[in-house]
């Protein structure tokens, strides 16, 4: 498992410099809408105007942290500290140049370098399927969250695609995405990995069950863009 995890980290190191451009092109910018909806809904569910810490796990180049800060202001929420955690050194190099209000730490989702009960929000966008020891990571999220804190997951969950539109989406993900991503990043294998990792991942219901199995209570589940992206928000009820 450790070897597989390191291969995934190495892959993200390799595509870090072109990662943002590839994301914008491949999603046609709609990923920004998914992130915005995730942040807005999370602030509504948490319902607090003063937050000590927001921790973005598998933060990559820091995109989601930008949305956390932007929409905190729009919701009138004061956030003392933003932290981004990622195992990819190269991704963090890009993030530090792009985001000047957050602290970035090299670390893994399954071994978070933060204290118990220390953060109100933990988020992970399009990264949980890349964590080999996923249940261990969910337990870590629970440990690190304050009582009533929330975990916010945006992910490409596995779908049962049967209709015509579903087949078109499936064709785009499996055939078109690797070609375009490969051209931009010069790493075809990395973008071939993306649709394969989705196919091998959990359904939304299965991921929700895993969250509940480690103690979380599901608060919100919503799919976007013909089921391409899914938002899950769960809360730590016990202290």
pLDDT in tens, 190-209: 666 565 665 666 788 889 99
Considering the domain boundaries, does residue 14 fall inside one?
A: yes
The dihedrals phi and psi of 158, each to the nearest 5 degrees, come to -65, 135
CATH assignment of the domain containing 8: 3.40.50.150
Q: Which two tokens stand for residue 158?
A: 């596995």
Considering the domain boundaries, does residue 136 fall inside one?
A: yes
| pLDDT of 216 over the 50 cut | yes
Considering the domain boundaries, does residue 51 fall inside one?
A: yes
**Structural contact between residues 115 and 144, judged by C-beta atoms closer than 8 angstroms:** yes
Give me the domain span that covers residue 27: 2-159+202-236
Residues 6 or more apart in contact with residue 160 via CB below 8 angstroms: 203
Angle between helices 204-213 and 134-144 (to 10 degrees): 50
| 33-64 as b/e: b if 16+ CB within 10 A | ebbebbbebbbebbeeeebebbbbbbbbbbbb
- Number of domains present in the structure of the chain: 1
Q: Which two tokens stand for residue 179?
A: 């070609």
Considering the domain boundaries, does residue 131 fall inside one?
A: yes
Mean pLDDT of 163-184: 56
Considering the domain boundaries, does residue 128 fall inside one?
A: yes
Most confident of 16-25, 111-120, 163-172: 111-120
Considering the domain boundaries, does residue 196 fall inside one?
A: no
Other residues' Cβ atoms within 10 Å of the Cβ of residue 183: 14
**According to the model, what pLDDT value does residue 50 have?**
98
**According to the model, what pLDDT value does residue 171 have?**
47
Query: What pLDDT, in 10s, does the model give residues 54-73?
Result: 999 999 999 999 999 999 99
**Structural contact between residues 154 and 125, judged by C-beta atoms closer than 8 angstroms:** yes
**According to the model, what pLDDT value does residue 228 have?**
76
Considering the domain boundaries, does residue 169 fall inside one?
A: no
Considering the domain boundaries, does residue 11 fall inside one?
A: yes
């Amino acid at each position: 498992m450790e070897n597989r995890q390191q291969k995934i980290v190495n892959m993200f190191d390799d595509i870090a410099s072109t990662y943002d451009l590839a994301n914008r092109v491949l999603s046609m910018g709609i990923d920004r809408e998914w992130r915005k909806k995730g942040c807005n809904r999370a602030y509504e569910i948490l319902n607090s105007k003063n937050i000590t810490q927001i921790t973005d796990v598998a933060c990559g180049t820091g995109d989601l942290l930008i949305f956390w800060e932007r929409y905190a202001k729009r919701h009138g929420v004061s956030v003392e500290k933003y932290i981004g955690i990622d195992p990819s050194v190269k991704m963090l190099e890009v993030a530090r140049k792009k985001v000047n209000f957050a602290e970035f730490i090299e670390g893994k989702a399954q071994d978070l370098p933060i204290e118990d009960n220390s953060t109100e929000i933990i988020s992970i966008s399009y990264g949980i399927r890349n964590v080999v020891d996923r249940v261990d990571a969910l337990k870590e999220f629970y440990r690190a969250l304050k009582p009533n804190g929330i975990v916010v997951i945006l992910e490409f969950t596995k779908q049962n695609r049967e209709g015509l539109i579903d087949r078109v989406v499936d064709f785009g993900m499996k055939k078109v995405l690797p070609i375009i991503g490969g051209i931009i990043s010069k790493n075809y294998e990395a973008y071939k990995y993306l649709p394969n990792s989705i196919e091998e991942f959990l359904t939304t219901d299965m991921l929700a069950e895993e969250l509940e199995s480690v103690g979380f209570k599901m608060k919100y589940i919503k799919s976007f863009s013909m089921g391409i992206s899914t938002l899950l928000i769960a809360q730590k009820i016990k202290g």
